[in-house]
Amino acid sequence: MALTRDYVESAQFRYWVLFLNCMLTFGSYYCFDMPANLENQIKGQVISDFTTDTDTYYNYFYLVYSWTNMLMSLCAGVMVDKLGKEKSMYLFIGFCLFGSAIYALGAALTSVSGASRFGIMFFGRFIFGLGGGPITIVQNAFTATHFKGHELAMAFGCTLTISRIGSVVNFDATPSLYKLLAKVNQPLALSYTLFIGSGLVLTGLVAAFALARLDNFAMKIEAGPYKPTLAADGSVKTKKKMSAADVKEFPALFWVLSLTISLFYSIVFPFMADSSSLLQQPKFGLDGTAASFRASLVYMMSMIVSPFLGAFVDWFGRRTSIALFGTSLTVPVFLLLAETSVDPVYSMIMLGIAYSVCAAALWPSVQLLVPIRTVGTANGVATSIQMLGIGICNVLVGVLRDKTSYKVVMFFFGGLGVVTVCTVLTMFLLDRDLKMYKGKRDAPNDGVEDSSADLQVGNKEGEEPLLA
């Protein structure tokens, strides 16, 4: 493609940026849930060698990822705003690649004790966590830079779709891949399977190089999202830099939104971490492959419908109402799993719809509530709160599985669903400015030309319009 000013200003350029931005997280999302599809192998070959609390220790792999994300995401948001997207992007992808390789290496050291192998794999997940969540913050910053207003949720939906293709491929391919490799070399099959996932992270690194080239060119010629903002007298306005004091200006709605995101994802991700084994309850009559396929339906639904939902949310608005519908679906999902022997395929489809709906309504709303210069920091804060909740729930689920019953675990997730619905109801009361309410359909009626208008101004009166 010929990079010219006209090309940078075109829709084709934006969608190339979107494609490369989507590919940043394909490999990391594939690797994130690999333990879920290799749970029995990890517990049988590594954890059971030194403890009987295998469910608790298995969930520590997700705990360390979540809590590392919690701490790193706060730094990552500031890094994106202060150091720039490109440097942050390379650093975080490097963490993902290095961490996933160490995790696979720990599985390969069959000559050492199970406790030592667990320690190495735990360290690998720690390193992986330094990049896994923060790379999505970089991704969100690129999205918010190149897509404004009524394209924003659509672009977020596309990034989620490609990421979830990685998750779906993992759930559908990993069990079969392990079985194939076990026929070649049983002792090292677990490690080989994990190394393949690590190799897929390289796709993100390749995409990062290409994305940086496009973004840097646009910045160099001051075109596209980097086109200078002009004052009324024709002079070029100076962009105001993000400062730590801006966090104090985040509205109450942002904090409740972040709590809602944390609660909702504390249902989905901890459940998905244990889903393959949880769905192998005798009452369902499923083997490992069938259980993994049903679990993959959650991400498969998201993969299929997220771009369309994103475009719908951009047009329709009413984000809080959409989030209420999505969070409410979680309650019947876990009641069905707890109280009936109905094939889990229906519950997984419902959970997939809930996940898709909430992802399309909640995460893009962060961009609507804060000044554009603080998008990286705001996403970092929201991600940190999210990961704190996920980490706590991972520990609780592991303990509940070791000490109680399957039904108790399902009721725990259902109870979280009820709490999440309550926080969404609170958001209705706080959205006094209707920032989460309005969509493109409202523009002809109220004179609003761009729902991102609030993104272009600072928090304080007199601040000039801002571009990413």
Mean pLDDT, all residues of the chain? 85
pTM: 0.73
What percentage of the chain has pLDDT greater than the value 90?
A: 47
CB contact at 8 A, 268 and 394: no
Q: What domains appear along the chain, each with residue ranges and CATH number?
A: 12-227+242-442 (1.20.1250.20)
Q: What is the pLDDT of residue 211?
A: 94
Phi-psi region of 427 (alpha: psi -120 to 50; beta: other; left: phi over 0): alpha
Q: What is the pLDDT of residue 166?
A: 86
Q: What is the pLDDT of residue 468?
A: 32
Tokens of 168: 């779906």
In DSSP notation, 11-72 reads HHHHHHHHHHHHHTTHHHHHHHTHHHHSHHHHHHHTGGGT-S-HHHHHHHHHHHHHHHHHHH
Nearest C-alpha neighbor of 338 from the set 396, 400, 257, 382: 400
Q: What is the pLDDT of residue 45?
A: 93
Low-confidence ranges of the chain (pLDDT < 70): 1-2, 149-150, 229-246, 443-468
pLDDT digits (tens, 9 = 90+) for 192-214: 999 999 999 999 999 999 999 99
**Distance separating alpha carbons of residues 128 and 190, to the nearest angstrom:** 18
Q: What is the pLDDT of residue 456?
A: 39
pLDDT digits (tens, 9 = 90+) for 364-415: 888 788 877 777 778 788 888 998 899 899 889 989 998 999 999 999 999 9
